[in-house]
Structure 1
């Protein structure tokens, strides 16, 4: 699928829990999101949302229906509903679409720190992805990823291209 009305940049604000899309330097839409319950941070195992400049490295799930369940970036064949959610209460649901982020700042969100600790956003499997509609937006609750409403992440998926810059502040 070709990207139409493409977005030139995304800014994720962890304080306001919003994701703003920019086209040609103009804000075109702001959406409510949920970032990490543990706050911001770069290190592997922290459960934090990484800061700084990123880009979308991969888009996954474009041909699947709303509510499609992904594990390890693979469609499980399941479509999320309340019964499935109740059957697997401990699952960290990744639904509908995945926009896999890749850090652009070596030693900050790419590669390792000066102390040799992994801080690589892509290797930490940090995504923008859908989540069950029962999960609140505007409240930090994720394990590091950026969660969105399913309809919003599907809309976003169709507007962005691999390589779109993402600034997380």
Structure 2
């Protein structure tokens, strides 16, 4: 067996790095001072983010346009053409309508639109104006306008149907009707 050598040839393992503590302390203090200055400058430059309060949608959410349609799903298709509901604001696809509604009403989507999740307080005047606009939009029909004409019209239609059925039975050949199996449908009462 060979004896291990105490000194390897060609390797200098006597060098040890010396650290100057004062130099590195000075560099650390300079870095901390620079970070403090940057923090104060960034606070002064950028105002705090002011988001708008929530407001109601002025458009109708389209949940029925792709209902009942067949679509081939491929992994290489862009997000907007994949199966499900695509949100262009958040650039995501939601697989069903319930989750899509949850998404567009959720915090992440509203933040992307620039809104906070707080609601602006309405004044009494605004509430009254809103009620008036909704009343004008949905005016119920009165009984006299719809009711009288509707009942008369319905009765006239019933009379016409009865006459047509009587003419049909009078014109039909009784032997032919019996052969086709229609003989038992007549009423015996006259």
TM-score (norm 1): 0.17
**Greater strand share, structure number:** 1
TM-score (norm 2): 0.16
Query: Comparing both chains, which one has the higher relative contact order based on Cα–Cα distances under 8 Å and sequence gaps of 6 or more?
Result: 1
